Structure 1
Amino acid sequence: MNNDNRGTISQQGNIMRIDNALVEEVSAPNRATGYLLVSYAVLKPKGMTSIQLLRLNIGRNTVILNSFGLSMCLCDIRKGMWIDSLFSPIMTRSIPPQSSAFLVVARRELKSSVSVTTDRIAMVDVNNNFLYTGNPNNINSQIRFALSNSTTISDRNGNPVSLRSLRPGQMVRVTHANFQTASIPPQTTAFHVQLL
């Protein structure tokens, strides 16, 4: 999407609203709290548009939903995603201004760059940072996920866990790239692994 698609801020009573803001930066040091740096368009005189930044502080009471209305973790939001948000009209005078977010909704993209697979773990290869899902007795049903240093792994409660703590048979939800190699099993890059 180009800059012309960035939304604008409006006020509705005691709540500010931003629609279609571009996520420029995500900070989620403990997965539940942190901030989103977003950009949005401001219409200037003579039809000029200026891109402004806003830091949305995410607290434990901030509700974060995906486009289907399901709860999601701050750690699932990535740079380049588009969001809608309701936030406090009380803002700092800093650059960029900061405000506390009440609600963040990740927008569904027309062509998503991520996919989600929910399946049982078939095998964990700690030495090579691979996680296999599917039927352990049928290689044709499996997917091999490559984990990088930026891949996050969390337990049922959203707490971080290590690859070593995962076991075959556990149910996981893997957020991963929407491309796969043509190998058997197909391989793709995992962004986040959530134990279910």
Structure 2
Amino acid sequence: MKAWNKLLLTTTAVTLLALPLSASALSSVNATGPVPTAKVIENKQEAAEQAGTKGLLEQIVHTKKGSQVFVKGEGLRPIDQDTIILNVTNSVPVVDQHGNPADLLEALQQEWTVTAYYNPAITKSLPAKGNAEKFVVERPEVKAMVSTGIIDSTGKDRVVMVGDSKIVLNMSEETVITDKNGKALKQSDLKAGQRIEAHYGPMMTASLPPISPAQKIVVLGETSHVEGVVGKDMSKDAKSIYIDTAGDKKMENDMILHLNEDTSIINIVGTPVKPEEIKKGTKVAAYHSLATTFSLPAQSSAYVIVVLPEPVK
């Protein structure tokens, strides 16, 4: 069989030799305009009984008579074609595996697998030529993103989480909320300072901070919150941060927070901050473990450190 190259051609670039079709096949061919999309697909049982080829789109061509799609792969049944040229009309359904509208040009460009169903009345040429009845595009599944952070604030149907970055999570009736043991919780159970595992996306705005729909939130536990000024310059390899919480230089009001590979340091919009950029006098807010020593100053492990902006003078 002839191998067809993957490219989009126009009528000025390519002229296809028309191959004869049966009378019943010709009666349904009147394709014009761009490659179509559709909103519905017939049931799977009916699709399984149709002639079909599953594989990749090799070429889409627009001619004076309409659109033609070149499919190369494997026939669904022993009698079906491994390579076929299909005439496409605007009434042909083009959907993904979930029944959502899809696009053949995108499938061609992304090299997504496509199942093409067609009328069994086809030519005896090589490759055979026929009339398409539906296309199912296997669009890759996009999984939700998962990250751990601290609830910075809550509002009506939204949660602001800080961690490796800052993100606004929009809540809905579909958002699942549980504790770490799987017990169901309500949105009203979410409080600032809680450490959570958030499942969100795949859609996300390009704003700062980004906004994304929350699919699931798991409450991992509580944290403590402290604010103050940094008491000492930090170095690139700093293992801790010294915070003067009262600004009075009294050790009993200070706190040392230990840093580890899971500690996030960001600014108020969620952009990462390097430790060496934090100097003495920098204002910070920090979320840390509930486990705190009785030493002077007290010590704990930091989850998230947020560098606060300097006041406008």
TM-score of the superposed pair, with normalisation by structure 2: 0.32
Name the structure with the higher strand share: 1
- Of structures 1 and 2, the larger Rg is shown by 2
